[in-house]
Amino acid sequence: MHAVVSGTVQGVGFRYWTARKADGLELTGYARNLFDGTVEVEAEGPSAAVDALMEFIRTGPPSATVTDVSMRPVVPHGDVEGFAILH
């Protein structure tokens, strides 16, 4: 699943929080800041775990304010290990 999270989501630990949640769900993928102030998240794994992460990012950590999450399914790459925080 690919998601773009809008709101106050940069500079508030959103990527690190997302990575901790994804690691706990044993997902692979990444979270990275985009130039427009949003955060991009891509997650692969069992659909129930991916769905759980997508629910988590709708709220985000206490320091964030999520105003919108746009999601779309993507074809799994299957070539990534772990969940990365990209810069």
- Where are the alpha helices (H) located in the chain, listed in sequence order? 14-24, 47-59
Q: Would you call 20 a catalytic residue per the annotation?
A: no
- Catalytic-labelled residue, pool 15, 20, 32, 58: 15
Tell me which of 20, 32, 33, 72 is the catalytic residue.
Answer: 33
45 — alpha (psi -120 to 50), left (phi > 0) or beta? left
In the residue annotation, 32 being an active-site residue is answered as no
Q: Which residues are catalytic?
A: 15, 33
